[in-house]
Amino acid sequence: MLIDKVKKVIEEENLIEPKDKIVVGVSGGPDSICLLHILERLKKQGLLFEICVAHINHMIRPKSILDEEYVENYCKKNNIPVFIKRVKVENIAKQERMGTEEAGRKVRYDYFNEIMHKTKSNKIATAHNANDNAETILLNIIRGTGITGLKGIEIKNNNIIRPLINISRDEIEKYCIENKLNPCRDESNVELIYQRNKIRNVVIPYVEKEFNPNFVKTVNRLSQIAKEESKYIEKQTQNAYIEVLKNEYENKIILDLRKFNLLEKVIKKSIVRYTIDRILGNTLGIQNINIEDIITLCKRNIGNKFLTPNKKIKISIKNKSIVFEKI
């Protein structure tokens, strides 16, 4: 049974511990409703944790109000605390000069964190599944990625947990039918205006039909291998970062140029990503070609030259140092 499969993952990965208070991100679609239903059943089986629901209405689709009402009614029927917020994501995207998908993600996680603090919870659960992971990896490959991008979506990232990350979309759909959950359907998921939808509805079905019917499973195996190898590289990167670090401020990090240039290239690339992540909190928009350009800049040791790979960070060479500055 699917619930047993999810329970096993939760136990093996220590995703949920006794007395945890979890904010569950619920859109009203099959994935999130499946997750919510399973967490409810696990509570009834005796697992000692509390849940509440956070729902964001992006106000992009005319039918989004139906999703909101579905989530609200489901939670009231099952006595689950629910928090709902309406945000015009398209306006946020224009104001922040970012894509609609990126803006939606930022709004969601900001709200999840807000509810987590408001309810004194300690974890956030999202319903990312094996198909989402495969799609993310393929998008990363298309954009240009290293081993970090091949890892895909982490099952646990700080206080965020993803109990369904090893579960396929087919399994989720089957679970919803068996339990008569009747989740909402986002009609925009079949529109080919977003890159992820093209991967989901065109690329993956084509590869499954013409080359490998188990393509999603294959990509997820690649993800697991990348995660295992990445752990070793991350450990070496953190040790090397300490060696080359000169100064670290809130919006600026300074590395020793000479020591950096003596490192193996694979560690150099990893240190660049690690440093950018420490300043920005992510490496969105940073592609492998950007990393190569930064390493070349350091190797040539040319002063008064700088790079702005994603318009949020500036990397320059000054006084025998590499300076990473948040813009």
| pLDDT tens digits, 170-182 | 999 999 999 999 9
Pairing between β-strand 49-57 and β-strand 160-161 as defined by DSSP bridges: unpaired
Determine which helix (DSSP H) or strand (DSSP E) holds 210, and give its type and residue range: helix 204-210
pLDDT one-digit tens code per residue, 223-265: 999 999 989 999 999 999 999 999 999 899 999 999 999 999 9
Instruction: Find the angle CA(158)-CA(81)-CA(165) to the nearest 5 degrees.
Output: 40
Q: How far apart are CA 111 and CA 117, in angstroms?
A: 10
How would DSSP label each residue in 280-315?
HSS-TT--HHHHHHHHHHHHHT-TT-EE-SSSSEEE
pTM assigned to the model = 0.82
Topology of domain 2-210, CATH: Rossmann fold (3.40.50)
pLDDT one-digit tens code per residue, 3-62: 999 999 999 999 999 999 999 999 999 999 999 999 999 999 988 999 999 999 988 887
Instruction: List the chain domain ranges.
Output: 2-210, 249-326
Quick check: do 2-210 and 249-326 share a fold?
no
Domain 249-326 in this protein, CATH class = alpha beta
Q: How far apart are CA 134 and CA 212, in angstroms?
A: 14
Q: How far apart are CA 207 and CA 221, in angstroms?
A: 16
